[in-house]
Structure 1
């Protein structure tokens, strides 16, 4: 059977190390206070606890961990000088004061700014004045914060679908290779995954790090042909919850993959998805599922 990020067991190589990928519940220590030991889907905090704090910031990441999320879901982009940062939109006007700090720029894409320039931006005030001064953070910073949870919370990294990027899958793999201690521990605990809307990026990353569970994100319901093809290499199919029903959940499982649905914020929809047997629920409000 194929490995799955939340449910199945597999043995994979990471460098010269043998790793065991096991269910999070089975790997959890007695002191682990995450949700993995409970019945029900894994709780994946969408851009951190983004319903309660500004998305993809340290505040949202730390709050998701404190609320007992099984995973923090992030968005991987690259600065002009090659730093991987956690940011969703292709441009920064919606969630930062970039137009005020850098008026008159022809483009406000993340990739048009250096890391030093991005560090000047306020990424919190748009959400609430209490978060004024929150900054854009790097992928490395997210990893450090997740790692401090001692396995209670893992990382689900989305490779940005912004069309102007090339080589993001390679960069993310290089970042994980550069952190062998984190990557080894996270894989052994079933606490690491990567996903993408772009098939090419998902397959490229899978080719580089086949030991890391890879998911294909989609807003549409996959066809039978697409599911069968995905079943030959992918570990997850992660559709929008509005296109998900029992037939789809069952078929994904029959093909040896996990299914994580997004973005589920309404309690009734959460109950419905859990009742279908999905493996994970991606939500802006992880506390609604963890009750923390």
Structure 2
């Protein structure tokens, strides 16, 4: 991956445009690392066009040809894992209308059955009315049915002690910890370094990512328990990406960089020139066109 910017310049000089069709070698991180373009990851599904973190967003990403999707996992009052970004249900559901006396409508204060009653689509338009907040089990099954791959974020682990063990349990129950999934279809990431460490300790075979931009001097400590450093695009420089790539991660391979959340062509071209390995985006079609 270290030579990717040079290769891209060489291709440009020769007037060559490289395009990988969906489902081609770019479908795995290892294969993408050998190509001249970063992996494009649909953030919360195709969330610029469908309600985020819903099955509809996953399906739309699939129809658009995107293999990798990203999601967020939190835990309900009765211990069910659900796929939702905010720790409050207010922004993306009709919880204020259904449960008006339950402010501030925190995910952890509702049972899975209560959350299943909520409309998680109408806020994005009437055509999405009736979409639901999926459980992690439902989400995993749909991603599998679509033959997609998953960048799973454990959201706000400080609110949910032990959520790493719960997440691994559900992944195991749904068949996501077999060799095929672990080898190239699953990455678990978090903003919480301790959460990433916990996943690595409990399942050392899993690929993990840390969300953030650690100081260059601190990168070797992160490399001991993670395989990816995944920073916001506003914090990135070419020098930082190069510094990450000089180190080997927990599985003895060069650390990778997946940056977020890049939603326009100019931003995609900018981070592509830095040599990032992946771009997490709400607008995967825009980013794909910009870097292909």
TM-score (norm 2): 0.83
Q: Which runs of 5+ in 2 are unaligned?
A: 1-19, 249-254
Distance in 2 between the 1:109 and 1:118 partners?
A: 11
Deviation at 1:182, TM superposition (A): 6.1
Structure with the larger helix share: 2
Q: How does 1:40-119 map to 2 (within 5 A)?
A: 40-119=37-116
Distance in 1 between the 2:96 and 2:218 partners?
A: 42
Distance in 2 between the 1:61 and 1:289 partners?
A: 17
- Confirm or deny: 8 A CA contact 1:79 1:85 kept in the other structure: yes
Q: How does 1:175-190 map to 2 (within 5 A)?
A: 175-180=170-175, 183-188=178-183, 190=184
- Confirm or deny: 8 A CA contact 1:69 1:290 kept in the other structure: no
1:280 maps to: 278
- C-alpha change, 1:34 and 1:84, in structure 2 (3 Å) is farther
Q: How does 1:7-22 map to 2 (within 5 A)?
A: none
Structure with the larger strand share: 1
- Confirm or deny: 8 A CA contact 1:176 1:183 kept in the other structure: no
Deviations 1:74-107 (A, max 9, x none): 0011111111110000001111110100111144
2:191 maps to: 197
Distance in 1 between the 2:215 and 2:151 partners?
A: 25
2:221 maps to: 229
Deviation at 1:33, TM superposition (A): 5.6
Distance in 1 between the 2:211 and 2:171 partners?
A: 21
Matched length: 259
- C-alpha change, 1:126 and 1:223, in structure 2 (3 Å) is same
Deviation at 1:68, TM superposition (A): 2.0
Deviations 1:109-134 (A, max 9, x none): 11111111111101111111211111
The structure showing larger relative contact order (alpha-carbon pairs under 8 Å, at least 6 residues apart) is 1
1:240 maps to: 232
Distance in 1 between the 2:103 and 2:273 partners?
A: 48
SS of equivalent residue, structure 1 residue 68: coil
Q: Which runs of 5+ in 1 are unaligned?
A: 1-27
- Confirm or deny: 8 A CA contact 2:141 2:174 kept in the other structure: no
- Confirm or deny: 8 A CA contact 1:45 1:64 kept in the other structure: yes
1:207 maps to: 201
RMSD over aligned Cα atoms: 2.2
Q: How does 1:85-164 map to 2 (within 5 A)?
A: 85-150=82-147, 153-161=148-156, 163-164=158-159
- C-alpha change, 1:181 and 1:120, in structure 2 (3 Å) is closer
TM-score (norm 1): 0.83
Distance in 2 between the 1:91 and 1:211 partners?
A: 33
Deviation at 1:183, TM superposition (A): 3.8
Aligned mate of 1:269, from 267, 276, 285? 267
